[in-house]
């Protein structure tokens, strides 16, 4: 067909499964606890009138709540429909040059998809043998850099000294630090914002604030970079954020005590899960996230993945070079993790 040649063809990103029915879902790094009760109140308080009319295109209330929580000015904050939307807009805005952008070979698998769809040249920089980032590897000509920190799916945090090294070696490129998991460990690059005008930090309410279903993400940067990002967003879609999400986002950010409570529970369960998994013969690096990226000494990851699925326990498995013997296990409630350990014990002793 002749129209075929005019069509943009892409290989899409594959999100983790969202199975129907009662399963133990440890495959997409969602929060196992409900969002703050104040979020539910905020959604219920959305009136008919608000649904009838378009939402605030400037997302003022949400931007203002986020800015005051992080002690930034409002012109340093951008919001979007989950950090996927924020990151996608960042790629479209900041990576318009000809030189390849850089990101690790093992990282969030949406980066190469956005690069492909927006036709951005890119180069994957191999992580070291232990999956850590070598900042020196990024000291090459580039059109931009993206680093998930802590990284996914490895769960490993790269120290801020290394992030600074990368920022200062590429002053002519925008460096995006994707901090989807930062609330669970590590140190935010937010403190570097006053010193590096080429830095953009992205965040999400999907993990530590239990709002994956609502889709709220945000970014921090200099007023100049945020303005460029906003201009692109307004050139694609003025109303990305819907009214209930705008209200709920404010409630989620304002309920700091509840945020601390659920984050601390996830971190405590993760620390316990690390001990249990080690006893079961798994090995992994220290996780700074709400998941553990583990390999078993004797049993292939794909086999464990399939057998867990038969028991209605979903974890994530990537059939990809270097990581095809690893499982990414999200941290669930204590009870869900107990069921996981029990299932693993059965699977491993049956062999």
Q: Of 92-100, 159-167, 204-212, 219-227, which segment contacts ligand PMP by CB under 6 A?
A: 204-212
Q: Is 35 in the site for ligand PMP (CB under 6 A)?
A: no
User: What is the 3 state secondary structure string of 102-160?
Assistant: EEECCCCCCHHHHHHHCCCCEEEECCCCCCCCCHHHHCCCCCEEEEECCCCCCCCCCCH
**C-beta of 155: minimal distance to ligand PMP in Å?**
10
Q: Is 212 in the site for ligand PMP (CB under 6 A)?
A: yes
Give the gyration radius of the chain's Cα atoms: 21
Give the x-and-dash track for 112-151 against ligand PMP (CB under 6 A). Answer: ------------------------------------x---
Round to whole Å and give the CA distance between 15 and 12.
Answer: 9
Q: Of 81-89, 93-101, 272-280, 311-319, which segment contacts ligand PMP by CB under 6 A?
A: 81-89
Round to whole Å and give the CA distance between 246 and 81.
Answer: 10
Q: Is 178 in the site for ligand PMP (CB under 6 A)?
A: yes
Identified binder of ligand PMP from the candidate list 142, 158, 204, 287, rule CB under 6 A: 204
CA atoms within 13 A on the CB side of 271: 7
Q: For residue 179, give Cα distances in angstroms to 38, 131, 150, 258, 316.
A: 24, 18, 7, 20, 20
Nearer to ligand PMP, 125 or 348 (CB): 125
Nearer to ligand PMP, 24 or 180 (CB): 180
Q: Is 84 in the site for ligand PMP (CB under 6 A)?
A: yes
Nearer to ligand PMP, 82 or 100 (CB): 82
Round to whole Å and give the CA distance between 115 and 103.
Answer: 11
Nearer to ligand PMP, 152 or 347 (CB): 152
Total site size for ligand PMP, rule CB under 6 A: 12
CA atoms within 13 A on the CB side of 214: 28
Q: Of 77-85, 124-132, 169-177, 322-330, which segment contacts ligand PMP by CB under 6 A?
A: 77-85
Q: Is 287 in the site for ligand PMP (CB under 6 A)?
A: no
CA atoms within 13 A on the CB side of 296: 21
Round to whole Å and give the CA distance between 222 and 194.
Answer: 8
- Name 124's bridge partners: 103
Residue number closest to ligand PMP, CB atom: 82
SS3 260: helix
Nearer to ligand PMP, 84 or 162 (CB): 84
Q: What counts of helices (H) and strands (E) characterise the chain?
A: 11, 13
Q: Is 26 in the site for ligand PMP (CB under 6 A)?
A: no
Nearer to ligand PMP, 108 or 326 (CB): 108
Q: Is 180 in the site for ligand PMP (CB under 6 A)?
A: yes
**C-beta of 43: minimal distance to ligand PMP in Å?**
18
Question: Can you list the alpha helix ranges (DSSP code H) found in 4-119?
Answer: 37-44, 48-52, 60-69, 82-94, 111-117
Round to whole Å and give the CA distance between 124 and 111.
Answer: 10
Q: Of 82-90, 122-130, 256-264, 336-344, which segment contacts ligand PMP by CB under 6 A?
A: 82-90
Q: Of 37-45, 68-76, 80-88, 322-330, which segment contacts ligand PMP by CB under 6 A?
A: 80-88
List of residues contacting ligand PMP (CB under 6 A)? 82-84, 108, 148, 152, 178, 180, 204, 206, 212, 217
């Amino acid at each position: 067909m002749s129209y075929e040649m005019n069509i943009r063809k892409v290989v899409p990103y594959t999100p983790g499964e969202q199975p129907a029915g009662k399963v133990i879902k440890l495959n997409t790094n969602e929060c196992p606890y409900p969002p703050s009760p104040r979020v539910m109140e905020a959604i219920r308080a959305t009136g008919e009138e608000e649904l009838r009319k378009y939402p605030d295109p400037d997302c003022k209330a949400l931007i203002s709540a986020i800015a005051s929580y992080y002690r930034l000015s409002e012109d340093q904050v951008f919001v979007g429909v989950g950090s996927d939307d924020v990151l996608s807009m960042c790629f479209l805005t900041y990576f318009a040059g000809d030189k390849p952008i850089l990101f690790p070979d093992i990282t969030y698998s949406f980066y190469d998809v956005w690069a492909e769809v927006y036709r951005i040249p890119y180069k994957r920089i191999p992580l070291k043998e232990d999956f850590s980032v070598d900042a020196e590897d990024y000291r090459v000509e580039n059109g931009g850099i993206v680093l998930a920190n802590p990284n996914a799916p490895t769960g490993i945090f790269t120290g801020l000294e290394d992030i600074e090294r990368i920022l200062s070696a590429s002053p002519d490129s925008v460096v995006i630090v994707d901090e989807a998991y930062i609330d669970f460990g590590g140190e935010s690059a937010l403190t570097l914002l006053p010193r590096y005008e080429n830095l953009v930090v992205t965040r999400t309410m999907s993990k530590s604030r239990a709002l994956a279903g609502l889709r709220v993400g945000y970014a921090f940067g200099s007023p100049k970079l945020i303005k460029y990002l906003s201009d692109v967003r307004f050139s694609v879609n003025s109303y990305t954020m819907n009214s209930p999400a705008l209200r709920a986002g404010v409630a989620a950010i304002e309920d700091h005590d509840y945020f601390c409570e659920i984050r601390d529970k996830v971190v405590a369960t993760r620390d316990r899960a690390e001990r249990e998994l080690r006893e079961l013969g798994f090995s992994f690096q220290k996780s700074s996230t709400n998941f553990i990226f583990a390999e078993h000494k004797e049993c292939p990851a794909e086999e464990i993945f399939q057998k867990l699925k038969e028991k209605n326990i979903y974890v994530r498995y990537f059939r990809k070079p270097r990581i095809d013997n690893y499982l990414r296990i999200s941290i669930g409630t204590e009870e869900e993790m107990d069921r996981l350990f029990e299932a693993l014990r059965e699977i491993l002793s049956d062999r």
